[in-house]
Structure 1
């Protein structure tokens, strides 16, 4: 079998790497400080970041493919090319949803990096399947090496960018992401041979390199424009909020030292305010108003007798702050204010806390915490019934 001689245009290879850098920086910057933003704004930012990262992966691939030089004319299937772009965007979106709407554990970061690595591979090979009048022939070592590199480098990129969210780590994560995308493409291409085929495969409309170049220029124009817009945000410093007596803008006070507190279940007034959101506005709730706290992905839901509010604290942060104010952890995902508990029920190896307010759902008690919670609530519930 005689393979076609393949070369690459050096300028377009360099430009493809620049596109990967711009995409990585734009996407990772769009997800910066999301925990401090309303949920709708987080959803929009994650969607935009998915398009930036996924679209950047696609643009990088096809900028490099525009630089592919073969001794024959070749074309692309427009439908398959579109599918390759959608694959990259959807897969990256799934990874970002994990990172920003699920508790960000080491396993979640690793899973997100693996998903993006697989997405880069999928986008590459789907895009290559769109070639017309020539066919890509892959070698086993090339596929294996590019697959391992894709997953390993993407995991490293997300660990760097999300292990600790700082400007410095976002820049380093951008570099790792660009290296991952470029390495996967060129390692895969190094293990790829091309052979001529006599006819078009009739799957979708056919487009030439010139038409593809217009699409790549358009997407790159949008990507670079977004890159410039995002870059400006690093130069702007948020204005200091004006002082106000309104509770919705009051600062969050740090909890008092445990030695300054009373017995469990007794709260010191003004010791801590929990930042929450109601109808898109920031409000602060004191712990004594809260019945229980429930983990909600990377965030928490705050239940009072009147409301259920969103809180940007992860359950780990809520535990660290509220356990000192007398809250009890009944489950890995639940913190309960014992002063709001009306009754404790136990069924075999499980339990639940029932609240005086009928509108509140019960809070589960895990098997490992049954005895401790029962003992902690015993004296208080007995005193409640006697009163």
Structure 2
């Protein structure tokens, strides 16, 4: 059964799963920093694109295999497989995008996502109709389900470690292999047996392979378009990039040029994250920082904080494992955190000096790596390098060595 697959369609099916996963996970990563109706729209869009990736992968993979020539597709089970998948995957993304993603919630999310992948596959298989019946090897059914759940769990773990950049791509690749591995493992254990009495009912809604192929072409364009749109930077990011170079995958910004470009693009927000000059005494340093969750406001001990990153009017606080949203602006975070322990290395980034494990030159600027399971990496603007090295006790090291 597994022999005779069209290799080009097999590759296309895997690519569609990865692109759908990347787009869906990218939307899900923005849920935490969004409120109101926008959060619901993002979550619905994320579930839809992930489900589209699963559904399109399955039926492209089906067309890639040696399906009987008289096979047609019952429309209602075919649509039902997509709706079931969207609902189950939506629950999975809700569990990791809203509230505190504990180990139990991540495990439950992986189970739901794996169930969505498996249910989509077997409901979709039941949409086959023709002069045959489909038989499944139980061992392959169990193995395919384990592959779906296991790789979905790994993909979600990577996604939660850092919701952007390389980690987002890795989680999408893991998701693509979860879907593809489940499908082709299950297909290996599937057999078509001749059964002339199994023709579809005359009054049933059916679609031929040609009609299905046309639908899949349109969906491939939709998924690819969504993926390309997800790569378009937001306005403030474009303004900063106009005055900066993207170095090693991290944005290293010339402070003056970046601030001018960003303020010109967003005059209403100009200077919002710059400390204003004042004669008032600075506020006392806080010991805990508030972060938002589905259950309310939680507090992180400052000793656990590795970095703080500006996100529009708010910030994202990294505890070494993942980022969580804080309602403070970057300027307020800088004012509240102990300056003996925290240093603003970039217009949009603050780092905890005790957690810095590495600093290295990157183009005209630098990056620092912080300790923790996720080993977050933060860009350092060119104007801040010397001061940061002095704070870390490495200023003038080359001069002393010579």
TM-score, reference length from structure 1? 0.63
Q: How does 1:27-38 map to 2 (within 5 A)?
A: 27-38=24-35
In 2, Cα distance between equivalents of 1:70 and 1:247: 58
Conserved 8 A contact 2:25-2:172: yes
State the Cα distance separating 1:191 from its structure 2 match: 0.9
For this pair of structures, how many residues does the alignment match? 282
State the Cα distance separating 1:300 from its structure 2 match: 3.4
Q: Which consecutive residues of structure 2, in runs of 5 or more, have no partner in the other structure?
A: 241-258, 276-280, 300-313, 318-323, 327-331, 337-402
Task: Give the CA RMSD over aligned residues.
Answer: 3.9
Change (3 A) 1:301 1:162: closer
Q: Which structure has the larger Rg over C-alpha atoms?
A: 1
State the Cα distance separating 1:32 from its structure 2 match: 3.1
State the Cα distance separating 1:201 from its structure 2 match: 3.7
Residue 19 (structure 2) pairs with residue 10 (structure 1): no
State the Cα distance separating 1:297 from its structure 2 match: 1.2
In 2, Cα distance between equivalents of 1:96 and 1:249: 36
Conserved 8 A contact 1:142-1:191: yes
- Find the residue that maps to 1:26 and give its secondary structure: helix
Which residue is equivalent to 2:122? Answer: 125
Conserved 8 A contact 2:31-2:98: no
Change (3 A) 1:5 1:13: closer
Which residue is equivalent to 1:170? Answer: 168
TM-score, reference length from structure 2? 0.61
Which residue is equivalent to 2:380? Answer: none
Conserved 8 A contact 1:74-1:208: yes
In 2, Cα distance between equivalents of 1:294 and 1:36: 11
Q: Which consecutive residues of structure 1, in runs of 5 or more, have no partner in the other structure?
A: 254-267, 274-286, 288-292, 303-310, 326-387
Which residue is equivalent to 1:185? Answer: 183
State the Cα distance separating 1:92 from its structure 2 match: 1.1
Residue 227 (structure 2) pairs with residue 200 (structure 1): no
Which residue is equivalent to 1:158? Answer: 156
State the Cα distance separating 1:120 from its structure 2 match: 0.2
Change (3 A) 1:85 1:238: farther
In 2, Cα distance between equivalents of 1:112 and 1:221: 28
In 1, Cα distance between equivalents of 2:128 and 2:56: 16
Change (3 A) 1:20 1:35: same
Residue 136 (structure 2) pairs with residue 138 (structure 1): yes
Structure 1: 4+ residue segments shifted above 4 A: 238-241, 243-250, 268-273, 293-296, 311-314
Conserved 8 A contact 2:292-2:325: no
- Find the residue that maps to 2:187 and give its secondary structure: helix
Conserved 8 A contact 2:152-2:175: yes
Conserved 8 A contact 1:299-1:312: no
State the Cα distance separating 1:6 from its structure 2 match: 6.9
Which residue is equivalent to 2:297? Answer: 300
Q: How does 1:104-115 map to 2 (within 5 A)?
A: 104-115=101-112
Conserved 8 A contact 1:23-1:53: yes
> Over residues 123-164 of structure 1, what are the superposed CA-to-partner deviations in whole Å (9 max), with x where a residue is unaligned?
000000110013220111101110111111100000011123
Conserved 8 A contact 1:300-1:312: no
Residue 97 of structure 1, aligned match among 94, 111, 114: 94
In 2, Cα distance between equivalents of 1:68 and 1:41: 41
Change (3 A) 1:131 1:245: closer
State the Cα distance separating 1:242 from its structure 2 match: 3.6
State the Cα distance separating 1:228 from its structure 2 match: 1.1
> Over residues 28-85 of structure 1, what are the superposed CA-to-partner deviations in whole Å (9 max), with x where a residue is unaligned?
1222344333333222111111111001100000011112224541111000000001
Change (3 A) 1:124 1:252: farther
Change (3 A) 1:88 1:178: same
Which residue is equivalent to 2:230? Answer: 230
- Find the residue that maps to 1:73 and give its secondary structure: coil
